[in-house]
Chain A
Amino acid sequence: MSGQVYPKDTKVLPGLQLEKVDDRIMTLNVGPQHPGSGHMRIIIKVDGDYIVHCDPDPGYVHRGEEKMAEYRNYITNIPHLERPVIHDSCNILYPYCLGVEELLGIEVSERAKYIRVIAAELNRCVYIQYWLAIYGIFLGHSTMFMWPVGDRELMIDLLDKMTGARVTHAYFVPGGVRNDVPANFEDVCLRQVNYFEKRLKEYADVFYDNPILISRTKDTGVLSREDAIKLGTTGSVLRASGVDFDIRKKEPYDVYEELDFQTNVLKEGDSYARSKIPWLDMLESCRIIRDALQKMPKSGSVRVKLKPKPKAGDTEVYRRVESGRGSLGMHIVSRNNPQPYRLKISVPSFRNLIAMPHLLTGEKLGNLPPVYWSLNYWPVEADR
């Protein structure tokens, strides 16, 4: 048992050859039917309790979103493009709408921009609550599964009032948002967001300040600042490693530059920091929503009417936004057609997944769930 710990830089033979080298190595398929994986498989090889090799195997839920987008025009693309991550559907439509607006040369009204920001931040909370719930149950903390799933209903209720749907909103359209918010939405929103923020602070008591959680996730799966940049991680993973990078600050879109908020950065780079950053992001989202509700124009149109099947010129555009997981970009190539010639989605989940073998090799088997899920990885989005 003692001894043969494989350091991170050891060259490990891939595949079955490893088992031939050493009888002590056991191959485990974590997924796709394992309760501790998403819609994906992680092939790990363990020596005793240590993971010596890790090979993530995504692709079980590939839907061909990018190809589908080439057969639909700019408006009918909206509902299916949000499918890869339905819990964050406003944020995944955001870069598409920004890009198409740039292609078609549409100017969005001020009120629509504020409504978009509010919807995007509410949706970020919905996503992170779901993510946090799974993080809790991965660590065996069943209360932390039930609480976020329950409190998530507050945000879902607000989005339901705004958009008419609980998860797949299809709310953002090129030219603004699909419909205006209902009357007295601002009061309801303010009340629920305040209550939500109060609840979020209770999470710290039961989860983030829990000594067992801290002893279990501190100093596990440490991703240094240099490695985080080198591996191309993004979002909460990058910010947990001490890099102050948030698209909302660095490349502000819509009205983010007028709003008062800050980015959360932690220096540790371990799975505890990676799990805490999204929680801090939610608190920050509450601030953004309150600020946006104050600064929002009280009336005005929210949608620019487009012609049916609008055509863009012979250009291309790349826009990216900060989603719940990190930088989410869309590259739209137009060849003077009603349909996009090519739509490339650059998803944060896949970029964070790249760091997984780097982090898990040499860790203990018990660290697999917290390290894996702290990467803020959504399997469906990575497969697109």
Chain B
Amino acid sequence: MSVIAPKFRLGYLIKGITDNIFWIIVILTLVGIPVVQIVLIYIDFPIIDGEIWNPFRVLDAMTHPERALPLVKSFMQTDFFKVAAFPGFGFAAAIAGGVIFVERKLLAKLQLRVGPFYCGKVEGLLQLVGDGLKLLSKEIIIPAKADKPLFWAAPVLFAATAGAFVALIPVAPGWVVADIDLGLLAVFAVIGFFPIITIVSAWSANSKFPFIGGIRALYQMVSFEIPLILSLLGIVMLTGTLNLMEIVESQANFPWIIFMPIGAIVFFITILAELERIPFDLPEAESEIVAGWLTEFSGMMYGLVQLGSYLKLYAFAALFVVLFLGGWNGPWFYPMEPIAEVITDGVVLVPDALTLEIEGGLLFSQEMLNGLIWFVIKTVGVILVILIPRGVFPRIRIDLLLQIGWYKLIVLAFINIFIALALVYGGIIGPEGIL
């Protein structure tokens, strides 16, 4: 058995792909086309403007952008697209996948090693795919004494709750899955679900180490939720709204981190604790309690929990951006509203030879593209800052953690609230403020 990867030959890869394409074409033409034509005999085609619209004609018409784009645009306004692709699950999962890759390579560089290298040929790009396939193909083992329905439900619930959290995040002007007036309260409600899911999964596994891990997670999450909520109250006071979209719009001139750095620090530390990341990864402390509340999960159940926790990482980082760093607000990359003459006549680069027409984005408006770019840049930056402590800090102990949560962070959060009150009643910010 050799441990060395087989030698990669580009020629073999191309040959394999072309072989596959060849056989697909052969089988499709020999089997597919006769079948389709046999079926088409029995179908009546509509006649529009004196032309028979057979399926081939419809496909032909669809390829024209003028006809296809409105269809795509209207599809993009459906709830299904928003939940599944953008700005919901698909977008978050793409960022999470990128984050896992960056985390591995960044940590590896910090620790003087290489990190994922072979899978995907280029710097281990496809390592995540390989891991996912491995988790999918593994057997799911359930402890004999486990409470099976609850044990099955826990990972699914965890991933689903993380998805619900993602749905509340506004990504660009007008682009949010669930635009609700009490958005911040909904965030608190969703965060409150995680300890329950954790303790349910720990309890249902009926095993000692998950139980201890679950209790630890419960302690940690409950004691850090209070400073988390308190640290965000200052922003609610300044903006007078709980709607996340309106909070972002209120930061068009300056982000709230300028006035509330203490709140931002408290919120950042509570993010680390809520995400169970080092130095607060007590519920999964390997050397003490094996893998904590994840000990009995195997195969894709573990994969779902990991997916959920990375979605949670994205959602918390995005929430930090939305509340403190101004969300999608940022300088414009190109002119906000092109002059009417430019739109109609185009920009004359060389007289009588070349004109360039400036349009909005094909599918998205300029405003949305600009906002999205700024949002992604800020979110990725925050995620990187969340990742770095993993290479620098050891794990903290549970009593020290609770001490930090109850004594220090709550006091700091109250100081932040008093700063916000001073700003509002001092007439600097608020309904009659000077800013």
- Which residues of A line the B interface, CB within 8 A? 26, 28, 34-36, 46, 49, 136-147, 150, 206-207, 210, 212-213, 215-216, 364-369
Contact = CB atoms under 8 A, between A and B. Distances in A.
B407 interface: no
B117 to A, nearest CB: 15
A142 B112 contact: no
Q: Which of B107, B110, B390, B395 has the most chain A CB atoms inside 10 A of its CB?
A: B395
Interface string B109-131: 01111000000000000000000
Contacts of A207: 394
Given A140-B279, A143-B392, A366 B286 contact: no
Given A213-B394, A216-B394, A140 B208 contact: no
B398 A49 contact: yes
Contacts of A136: 394
A140 B112 contact: no
B279 A147 contact: no
Interface in B74-126: 107, 110-113
Given A140-B286, A216-B400, A28 B208 contact: yes
A34 B285 contact: no
Nearest to A211: B393
Contacts of A364: 397-399
A6 to B, nearest CB: 17
A131 B2 CA distance: 30
A140 B395 contact: yes
B288 A143 contact: no
Given A139-B395, A140-B279, A369-B288, 14 more contacts: A34-B290, A49-B398, A49-B399, A136-B394, A140-B286, A140-B395, A142-B390, A146-B113, A210-B393, A212-B393, A216-B396, A365-B212, A368-B288, A369-B287
A84 B274 CA distance: 44
A143 B110 contact: yes
B32 interface: no
Interface string B275-303: 00011011001111110000000000000
Interface in B375-395: 390-395
Given A26-B208, A364-B399, A139 B394 contact: yes
Contacts of A146: 111-113
> Nearest 4 pairs between A and B by C-beta?
A140-B395, A36-B287, A146-B111, A141-B394
Contacts of A143: 110-111, 391-392
Contacts of A145: 111
A364 B395 CA distance: 14
A222 B280 CA distance: 25
Interface in B146-161: none
Interface string B340-379: 0000000000000000000000000000000000000000
A366 B393 contact: no
Given A140-B278, A146-B111, A147-B111, A367 B287 contact: no
Contacts of B397: 215-216, 364, 366-367
Nearest to B111: A146
Contacts of B287: 35-36, 137-140, 368-369
Contacts of A213: 394
A150 B396 contact: no
B111 A142 contact: yes
Contacts of A366: 282, 285, 288, 397-399
A213 B398 CA distance: 13
Contact of A35 (B290, B393, B399): B290
B143 to A, nearest CB: 15
23 contacts: A26-B208, A28-B209, A34-B290, A36-B286, A36-B288, A140-B285, A140-B394, A140-B395, A141-B393, A142-B111, A142-B278, A142-B390, A142-B391, A145-B111, A206-B392, A212-B393, A212-B394, A215-B397, A364-B397, A366-B282, A366-B398, A368-B288, A369-B288
A25 to B, nearest CB: 12
Contacts of A365: 212, 288-289
B395 to A, nearest CB: 3
Contacts of B111: 142-143, 145-147, 150
B220 to A, nearest CB: 12
Interface string B314-327: 00000000000000
Contacts of A49: 398-399
Contacts of A144: 394
A138 B395 CA distance: 9
Interface string B175-212: 00000000000000000000000000000000011001
Given A139-B394, A139-B395, A212 B290 contact: no
Given A150-B113, A212-B393, A365-B212, A142 B107 contact: yes
A101 B209 CA distance: 52
A146 B110 CA distance: 9
Contacts of B113: 146, 150
Contacts of A147: 111-112
Contacts of B285: 140, 366
Q: Which of B209, B278, B392 has the most chain A CB atoms inside 10 A of its CB?
A: B392
A315 B396 CA distance: 55
Nearest to B400: A215
Contacts of B112: 146-147, 150
A34 B288 CA distance: 9
Q: Which of B278, B289, B394, B396 has the most chain A CB atoms inside 10 A of its CB?
A: B394
Contacts of B394: 136, 139-141, 144, 207, 210, 212-213, 216
Contacts of B279: 140, 212
Nearest to A35: B286
Nearest to B401: A366
